[in-house]
Amino acid sequence: MGIFELVIGLLFAGALLALYANRIGLPYPALLALVGALLALVPGTPDVALDPELALALFVAPTLLDAAYDASPRDLRRNLVPVASLAVVMVVLTVIAVAWAARLVVPSMG
């Protein structure tokens, strides 16, 4: 299967899942992630290999943009301190985890 057919099929499946998520009242990014994770665990599912830049441009960026448009500014202002502190804490923890893992892999790293 060519890359064009693969991308069209994935976009079609995403649109169908978005309609279904709307019908059952779930956020569609969560349903897309759940179905993708479940398909990855099914034995015999064909391997799908996309260029990371293509996946970012076609799938991740529009999903995040749509989620940002759906976010309530009032709720964000009300929860600004918890959201900002979680963002900072998670970035710091990620940096620490990556540095620790890199140090385990390459002990001579400074």
How far apart are the C-alpha atoms of 23 and 25, rounded to whole Å? 6
Distance CA 59, CA 67 (A): 12
Given pLDDT bands bounded at 50, 70 and 90, which one contains residue 97?
A: very high
pTM of the model: 0.53
Q: What is the pLDDT of residue 16?
A: 92
Residues 39 and 88 in one domain: no
Cα separation, 105 vs 69, in Å, equals: 41
65 and 83 assigned to the same domain: no
Domain around 109: 73-110
pLDDT of residue 1: 61
Residues 24 and 48 in one domain: yes
Position 74 confidence tier, pLDDT thresholds 50, 70, 90: very high
CA distance 43 to 13: 20
Classify burial at 23, counting beta carbons within 10 Å of its beta carbon; exposed 0-12, middle 13-18, buried 19 or more.
Answer: exposed
Length of the chain: 110
